[in-house]
Amino acid sequence: MGKLPVINFRKKLKGIYKLGFIESLRSGNTGIGKTLEELFGIPENNVSNDFQFEGRIIELKSQRATASSRVTLITKSPHWNPLSAEKIIRKYGYSDAKGRQGLKVTITAVDFNTHRLKLEINKPLNRINIIHKKNGAVCYFEIKELMGKIKEKLSQNLLIVFAETRKKRRKEQFHYTEAYFLSDLSEENFEQLLLDGVIVWEFRMHIKENGSVRDHGAGFRISEKHLPELYSAKEKIKMDF
């Protein structure tokens, strides 16, 4: 990767806002990011969409203002103790459309799901337990491990830019209207988002014919629009004049 460009993002965003709606430079979901990177002047050959300013390496990220779907925060299986994945699936799962014993459910810290499973934070042990309403903890996550993986995936300095969208002559257009400079990923914020049901864990596994467990990408997911809330420092960038 070549040297990262130096970009005064506050000044750059004001200029981008003034442009109004801009036609996407690429079709599909990735158009919003590609168009913003081009406007920022981040080279096409950059492996990442990072830039630097005032001694910080900053990741540039974009989202549609109307986005409400969940995205994967991290893929992570729990520590299978006291029960193994196979035992959990056999005990609390169901026969899927292909006749396999499986368990593909969303688990939250807000309430027990239809399979009577729930997330529970155990502060003394610094764990997140998956508990069954009747039988208690079936497996667990180490919070420090989770935060380590989150910090590997998300930049400690993140510039996230939201865009209004519209279609004109069948082409998607973006008006980048709102931006936040985020820093310091927060364990406390992660836990609160979990308690609020904003972050969930999806159990996505089944038992194969040979008895082994197939993992379909079990992991923690978060609504895109709530991603900034993982950070303890949040600066809203003034884009309009």
> Which distant-in-sequence residues (6+ apart) come within 8 Å of 142 by Cβ?
79, 126, 127
Cα distance between residue 104 and residue 60, in whole Å = 33
Same domain membership, residue 125 and residue 205: yes
| Residues whose CB falls within 8 Å of the CB of residue 24, separated by 6 or more in sequence, listed in order | 31, 32, 34, 35, 171, 172, 173, 174
pLDDT of 95 reads 92
Q: Report which residue type is found at 125.
A: L
Neighbours of 211 (CB within 10 A): 7
DSSP-derived letter for residue 48 is: S
Specify the CATH number for the domain of residue 17: 3.40.210.20
φ/ψ (deg, to 5) at 101: -80, 120
Question: What's residue 48's pLDDT?
Answer: 72
Question: Does residue 163 fall inside a structural domain?
Answer: yes
Strand partners, 127: 122, 142
Question: 137 with 214, same domain?
Answer: yes
Same-domain check for residues 115 and 16 = no
pLDDT confidence of residue 69:
84
Q: Which two tokens stand for residue 39?
A: 């406007």
* pLDDT of amino acid 1: 47
Q: What range defines the domain where residue 92 resides?
A: 70-147+188-224
Return the closest-CA partner of residue 78 out of 174, 173, 182, 215: 215
Tell me the C-alpha to C-alpha distance, in Å, between residue 118 and each of 100, 123, 214: 23, 16, 22
Q: Is the peptide bond before 82 cis (omega within 30 degrees of 0)?
A: yes
Residue 3 belongs to some domain of the structure: no
pTM: 0.86
The pLDDT score that the predictor gives to residue 235 is: 94
Are 82 and 179 in the same domain?
Answer: no
pLDDT of residue 46: 61
Q: Are residues 13 and 126 in the same domain?
A: no
Each residue's pLDDT expressed in tens, for the chain with a length of 241 residues: 458 889 999 999 999 999 999 999 988 888 999 999 999 998 766 667 889 999 899 999 999 998 888 899 999 999 999 999 999 999 999 998 889 999 999 999 999 999 999 999 999 999 999 999 999 999 999 999 999 999 999 999 999 999 999 999 889 999 999 999 999 999 999 999 999 999 999 999 999 989 899 998 899 999 888 999 999 999 999 888 6
